[in-house]
Amino acid sequence: MATDDLLFMSATRAAALIRSRRLSPVEYVDAVLAEVARAQPRLNCFVTVAEEAARRDAAQAERAVMEGAPLGPLHGVPIHIKDLVDVAGMPTTHGSAIHAQAKPATKDDVLVARLRAAGAIIIGKTTTPEFGVKGLTDGPAFGITRNPWNLERTSGGSSGGAAAAVAAGLAPLGLGTDGAGSIRGPAACCGVVGLKPTLGAVPADAARDAFGNNTYAGPLARSVTDAALMHAVLAGPAGQDPWSLGGTSAARPVSPVLLGEDLSGLRIGHVPRCANPRVAVDVATNTRGALDAWAEMGAEVEEVDEAIDWIEYEGRVLYQANFAVFCAPFLPEWRDRMDPVTLAFMERGAQFTLADFRNAQFARTRLFRAVQALFDRYDLLVMPTMTRTALPAVFDAANDDVMVDGVPCGITRQGWTSPQYPFNLTGHPAVSLPSGFGADGLPTAVQVVGRWGAEADVLRLGALLERARPWSQHRPKTL
């Protein structure tokens, strides 16, 4: 098999070939590690590459195959983990100079443990901006992570290292986290699939505020099937996450209307804009192309035209106040070595009052109820994931205006990533799917949002789009 075909093979197919002894886990992991070594100097998407451990685990995986041992669904498949999540034997630096000298973690996060139990081989940790603070992946501690489609553009953030690596063929799967769009934004920038699950579907054992959590973990993959497979491995209750207990986010089966390819009776609500003032013409055109593809299958597509308060200001209160409190102890020693964006968000967050914070929490409930009301009329919601293609790799996320078709549209969460953060606050599942390419040759994306627990529905609609408008044959040429 040609090396390029091996590197861009789906995780599902690789696992099947390994089970049938037609693909060696050792050879597979060796090929991926060799490509990581070749691409890393230009992409800068890994903070740690665990070559020795990965090769050891690959050899063990190969022995298990040859001995006829029980094999998990990801047996022998290489995967990488965002550097906000603990992996035993590797440091967790959080993208920050503060933790650059951190000792290796002594145990795996629950999600890493589940991936290992499924047979996945951890090849390293991917880059994230400091504490996952922004929608671009760069920082004083590690430099700039670049987009494999165009090295002068960002890979998005904060799971930008994972998305860039998956898009570049540096393992078929990456574990990302998403606090305000941090899986879906990088997926959109890099032309891959990114799933933010329902609140509680995938446990967040490390969340500082377990009950007020709005941060999620999920897959970045090159296909919907791979994302679904990885999500199935990650999902399920865990004792330290109250949202994951008691069936509060129990998965729904696929809706009957989505089981086949005749979507007659499926109601899609098209949300053309959220809090953003504009959407680029090429993004809007590709979104319409996706909607038309589903309509040709029989779906009823209707534009959502009522005014919805997407609580951009209140969402900012919750987000920036969190960093103001969480990072305050670091300031006396580390201020001069922290990301200026982190410091700017902290400064703004510290200005909010307790009344501001509580009113923002109340607004979160109002937003949830407004979105729930939409699901009285629609089975799924669809909108662009981003307002435009990837921003320049060097961009001040705290102050610079996002330009959309030459028009300034505010900072990133107002002008670029506006369709993403609302669903961190409401808890609904949302997947970003490639929708085509913009006028600049970079990927565009469409977001599908479903009812609580309806990951199967959003993924199924994505799979139908993937079949109608295939994208996995496209590969970056910059490397």
Q: What is the pLDDT along the chain (479 residues), one digit of tens a residue?
A: 788 999 999 999 999 999 999 999 999 999 999 999 999 999 999 999 999 999 999 999 999 999 999 999 999 999 999 999 999 999 999 999 999 999 999 999 999 999 999 999 999 999 999 999 999 999 999 999 999 999 999 999 999 999 999 999 999 999 999 999 999 999 999 999 999 999 999 999 989 999 999 999 999 999 999 999 999 999 999 999 999 997 655 689 999 999 999 999 999 999 999 999 999 999 999 999 999 999 999 999 999 998 999 999 999 999 999 999 999 999 999 999 999 999 999 999 999 999 999 999 999 999 999 999 999 999 999 999 999 999 999 999 999 999 999 999 999 999 999 999 999 999 999 999 999 999 999 999 999 999 999 999 999 999 999 999 999 999 998 77
Residue 448 to residue 336: CA distance in whole angstroms: 41
Which member of 82, 125, 134, 196 is catalytic?
A: 82
Token pair for 254:
């696929």
Which member of 24, 96, 155, 182 is catalytic?
A: 182
Q: Are 210 and 243 in contact (CB under 8 A)?
A: yes
Q: What is the CA radius of gyration of the chain?
A: 21
Q: Domains of the chain, with CATH numbers? A: 3-468 (3.90.1300.10)
User: Is 182 a residue of the active site?
Assistant: yes
Q: Report helix, strand or coil for 270.
A: strand
User: Is 264 a residue of the active site?
Assistant: no
What pLDDT score does 247 carry? 61
Q: Are 451 and 252 in contact (CB under 8 A)?
A: yes
Which member of 96, 155, 158, 432 is catalytic?
A: 158
Residue 316 to residue 285: CA distance in whole angstroms: 29
Residue 31 to residue 27: CA distance in whole angstroms: 6
What pLDDT score does 207 carry? 92
Residues 57-63: contacts with CB under 8 Å, at least 24 apart: 57/29, 57/121, 57/122, 58/25, 58/26, 58/28, 58/29, 58/30, 58/121, 59/25, 59/26, 61/18, 61/25, 61/119, 61/121, 62/24, 62/25, 62/26
Buried b / exposed e along 331-340 (16+ C-beta atoms within 10 A): eeeeeeebbe
User: Is 24 a residue of the active site?
Assistant: no
